[in-house]
A and B are shown apart, each in its own frame.
Chain A
Amino acid sequence: MLAPPSPVTVEIIVNGTPRRACVEPRTTLVDFLREHLGLTGTHIGCEHGICGACSVLLEGEPVRACCLFALQVEGLSVTTVEGLAPARGELSRLQNAFCEAHALQCGYCTPGMLIACHDLLARNPRPSEEEIREAIGGNLCRCTGYQQIVDAVKLASGQEAAHG
């Protein structure tokens, strides 16, 4: 018989606020965020590192929250989609551009896409179409065909979208 693993307390700084919960050691970061902190903006699509729906920023770098244990990021700083807007009721430039360019449909991949694009713009304020496609190459979207996501990133970076 397997002995139930004893729970551990994990503290992570999520969207600027230290958050703690007592969880099984094998709890993934995405389950920690969703099930224990109630931050359901981060989604799960495959739980094996392919789809990117679970992307969050860890110390400013995009990571797949399904492939990390919460315990591994103890004490580190995580940004989720809920933390992208500058203030409650407002939208970031990128979120705004996603709405304007219709860069989403069902919205399921959107949090991960926003994380990937946010990271891209932080590194490269005026990315080319190719650079955008490369940056979101690890985030699958089944709705949009990516076109309007590319348009949104261009819009957010002050560039004309190439397509009508």
Chain B
Amino acid sequence: MAEPPRFRYIGQHRRAVEHRRFVTGQGRYAADIALPGLLHVAIVASPHASARILSVDASAALALPGVHAVLTGEDLQPEIEPMLPGVDAPEVRRFPLARDVVRYAGEWVAAVVADSRAIAEDAAELVEVDYAPSPHVVDPEAAIAPGAPLVHPMRGSNVIFRREFVWGPVEEDFAAAAHRLSYRVRWGRSATVPIETFVCTAAWNDATNLLDVWASIQMPKFPDLLARCLRLPGNAVRVHFDVDVGGSYGVKRGLKHAILVGFLARQLGRPVRFLEDRLENMRGGDMQGPDRLFDVTLAFDDKGVIRSMRMRALDDVGAYAGRSPFQLGKPVGAIVGPYTIHSVAYEAISVLTNKTPQEAVRGFGQAPTNYAIETGLDKVARFLGLDRIELRRRNLIPPERFPYLIPSGTLYDSGDYARVLDKALAAAPYAELLRQREALRAQGRLAGIGVSTCLEPSGGNSSFEPLFNPKNTTTTWMDSCLIRVDLNGAVTAVMATSSSGQAHETLVSTVVGEVLQREPDSIRVIHADSLSALPSNSPVGSRMAIMLGGAAAGAAKRIRAKMLRIAAHNLGVAEEALEWREGAAVLRADPTRALSWARLVEIAHREFHNLPPGMEPGLQESFVWEVPGGGGLPTPDGRIQMYPCHSFEAHVVLASVDPETGKVALHRYVVGHDCGVMISPDVVHGMTYGGVAHGLGAALMEKFAYSPEGQLLSGSLMDYLLPSAQEVPPITIVDHCTPSPLTEFGQKGSGEAGYLGGPAAIASAINDALAPLGAALDALPMTPAAIWRTLRAAQMARAATESTREPT
């Protein structure tokens, strides 16, 4: 394979330009926006999972000094448009404040506005709401059973989306296979839980009819949706993308928060801020993640080559839905993982329950699906008595078969999966892990090695929208960049979205520096607001290295092309005779003849008489880039090109379990990772480490647990446990580079790295540890209590078998 191309700035260690403001406390987050006369919001939330609202009495709250308003759903709903789900289910209407009916414990019923947060919270406690509780359902399987209480009776069913896809000759492949194996796995309800909760500040100006919004947002089409729901023209809402967002990883989609705050700011004529407290964030913030049951059957031969797969995924989206049902759609683009599985039947079911709504989580549904597939690989290996790594080798798509078309219609761009796995095993090194596993077992611990080999689709488009909703014909998911070179020759690049830790300013300045051959640290990158911005679809779906990087490169190339044209005109030579060197136009045949950067800038800005005829003066170019390979609607049988680029990760883990307590320790963690050409290796590595840690949380610790009554039991960081530096082990990353043929520099995306394969690998290690006792656990999170119960059940089962044998 060819060596990846060499670059001047791309792929080099470079300090992220964002860091300096963050380490000095000079970041500017949404909660830091101080406006004169700012008012604060507190929420009155439903204590019931399902109830009718009989009355709301706000008189005591309104009498409290410092309180400005109490808004109910009755006041608000007639004034705004509902938020609708992305799938075709118009009955599932959602508003920031409930009216008549509440559908989950924590649903917002009223909002109190006061001079301070503390006063608003005091007043919220004085709002008296009368409820008549009604039947509820919190279990997704119960929710689809006949006679279940309906979360949205108008819908007639708790199923908000269901479709069965068949891609390829599933029947024939199953009939021809020597073996089939069925299993069930469960992905627990967890999420990304950023350290910053959701914050929104808004101010309305009566003179200009303009709503200014500062929000910790990471959401495609947020300004447009906000304007539509508030019944304002798009140009009456200005979302400021220059706020720093304190982490998101998918969930910061506070549309309802922003509708509420925007409405209040306009109604009261005062700036308003809503800062979720932690319970609000966990419960009524609507930011919980996928909660999925998979029933899978694999068909395979004696050698363990998997020929076909049937998968049914039942996902509990909670009481309302935005884009959450699409989280079953995105994995269609990598439904066979990195394997040569020839045909697939996939049934996707999104179900409504009386729980907090689900929101996008890192990977947009891919991590649970990867976990389900990988669990099957381990089970097949165990069934056939084969080594799990050898089994994967037999099924991995070989490098010579790229680009590789999977049964569901996506073309994988490039990859060398076995090689990445080999690199991870060598780094472990695997022989040493085997030795350590035996040593741990000799000490009386349960020890296991885990492995996973997983896809990271990247370059997010929105192909799952038309796939899951025929009325939705979205086929573009562009991103853009504008570059200006000023009269003094300095370069400014304008991006059109906020960032939540992805170092986009570093990305853009590195890319623009590379193309223009200007020092990246001299290039300023700013975040536009939604009225001055070009179109963007925000940093979702591991797309920014590809899409923003591609747009920045495109705009920079236009600047460079223009400067070369100016140079050719002034030197009296053909453009092809020139080359771009060190930020100047140089005659290839005679490098003494050149026009410097400064001179070209001068001509462009001041000397119309030296510009080629018809050329626009000045130096500014924009570029709007369509997702590569995108642009098509699905076929009638549901095949579509999902994301364009495919990164890959191989995890190898050594874990042990304390048989007395069920507590897990991770002794060695290695990730082999291939995301093509890395633009900023430090950033990619950082996201991968963070993704592994997040995956560890999903695998072992994190769960939005509900009581049978539908009460959230883990609404604080004392019950919903995030991994600390003491749980996350040292992690070794081994890089590999298979450039993407579809992108400017060969880059692929990596924002979801680590998380997409981590839970599968950790679960694999635990099951390897439990296997000698005949125990298996196929539900996340594998908390100490869950492991302990599994061990205990296995012990009882053994005891029972032994006692039945005894009489003979």
Contact = CB atoms under 8 A, between A and B. Distances in A.
B196 A50 contact: no
Q: Which of B18, B25, B754 has the most CB of A within 10 A?
A: B25
Contacts of A110: 22-23
Given A40-B32, A48-B717, 10 more contacts: A40-B28, A40-B34, A48-B278, A81-B23, A91-B20, A105-B683, A105-B687, A145-B731, A148-B682, A150-B730
Given A40-B32, A99-B23, A45 B197 contact: yes
A71 interface: no
Contact of B728 (A41, A45, A114, A146): A146
Interface in A136-152: 136-150
B702 to A, nearest CB: 11
B770 interface: no
Given A39-B25, A143-B690, A145-B754, A105 B501 contact: yes
Given A45-B278, A51-B717, A111 B25 contact: yes
Q: Which of A45, A105, A134 has the most CB of B within 10 A?
A: A105
B23 A1 contact: no
A140 B23 contact: no
A100 B500 CA distance: 20
A146 B692 CA distance: 11
B724 interface: yes
Nearest to B683: A102
Given A47-B277, A50-B717, A142 B247 contact: yes
A82 B25 CA distance: 6
A133 B192 CA distance: 22
B245 A142 contact: no
B48 to A, nearest CB: 24
Using C-beta atoms within 8 Å of the partner chain, give the interface range for chain B.
35 or more
A124 B433 CA distance: 33
Contacts of B275: 44
A122 interface: no
B716 A45 contact: no
A35 B716 CA distance: 24
A140 B683 contact: no
Interface residues of A, number: 64
A64 interface: no
Given A99-B15, A99-B20, A143-B686, A106 B731 contact: no
Contacts of A143: 247, 501, 686-687, 690
B194 interface: yes
A112 B18 CA distance: 17
B118 interface: yes
A107 B196 CA distance: 10
Interface of B: 15-16, 18-29, 31-32, 34, 60, 63-66, 116, 118-119, 122, 192-197, 244-249, 275, 277-278, 500-503, 682-683, 685-694, 716-718, 722, 724-726, 728, 730-733, 754
Nearest to A114: B23
Contacts of A108: 27, 29, 194-196, 246-247, 501
Nearest to B196: A108
A40 B726 contact: no
A78 interface: no
15 contacts: A4-B65, A24-B116, A43-B246, A53-B196, A82-B25, A85-B24, A99-B15, A99-B20, A102-B683, A108-B194, A139-B724, A142-B193, A146-B693, A147-B730, A150-B725
B20 to A, nearest CB: 6
3 closest A-B pairs by CB: A41-B25, A107-B22, A108-B246
Nearest to A27: B118
A98 B686 CA distance: 12
B394 to A, nearest CB: 31
Nearest to B499: A106
A107 B246 CA distance: 7
A148 B16 CA distance: 13
B254 to A, nearest CB: 16
B24 A91 contact: yes
Given A114-B23, A142-B194, A142-B195, A46 B728 contact: no
Q: Which of B23, B27, B66 has the most CB of A within 10 A?
A: B23
A163 interface: yes
Given A46-B716, A133-B726, A105 B686 contact: yes
A50 B716 contact: yes
B728 A145 contact: yes
A80 interface: yes
Contact of B64 (A2, A24, A95, A145): A2
Contact of A145 (B25, B245, B690): B690
A138 B28 CA distance: 24
Nearest to A53: B195
A109 interface: yes
A78 B364 CA distance: 42
Interface string A51-65: 101000000000000
Given A4-B65, A24-B118, A91-B24, A129 B730 contact: yes
Contacts of B725: 132-134, 136-137, 139, 141, 146, 149-150
Interface string A14-56: 0000000000101100000011001111111111101101000
A142 B23 CA distance: 17
B278 to A, nearest CB: 5
A45 B195 contact: yes
A70 interface: no
A104 interface: yes
A140 B724 contact: yes
A10 B175 CA distance: 79
Given A1-B63, A24-B118, A145-B754, A82 B24 contact: yes
Given A42-B25, A95-B24, A104-B22, A163 B34 contact: no
A144 to B, nearest CB: 5
Contacts of A95: 23-24
A163 B217 CA distance: 33
B686 A102 contact: yes
Given A39-B25, A42-B25, A142-B192, A106 B244 contact: yes
A138 B724 contact: yes
Contacts of A34: 31-32
Contacts of B501: 104-108, 143
Contacts of A48: 278, 716-718
Given A82-B24, A142-B722, A44 B31 contact: yes
A47 B117 CA distance: 13
A106 B639 CA distance: 37
B726 A137 contact: yes
Nearest to B199: A44
B34 A145 contact: no
Contacts of B692: 145
A47 B31 CA distance: 14
A142 B690 contact: yes
Nearest to B282: A46
A105 B502 CA distance: 6
A42 B65 CA distance: 29
A102 B685 contact: yes
A25 to B, nearest CB: 11
B716 A102 contact: no
Nearest to B687: A105
A139 to B, nearest CB: 8
Contacts of A137: 724-726
A106 B500 contact: yes
B245 A106 contact: yes
Contacts of B249: 142
Q: Which of A42, A80, A111, A142 has the most CB of B within 10 A?
A: A142
Contacts of A142: 192-195, 247, 249, 690, 693-694, 722
A35 B20 CA distance: 23
B689 A145 contact: yes
B122 A2 contact: yes
Contact of A140 (B20, B277, B717): B717
Contacts of B64: 1-2
A45 B411 CA distance: 42
A102 B682 contact: yes
Contacts of B29: 40, 43, 108
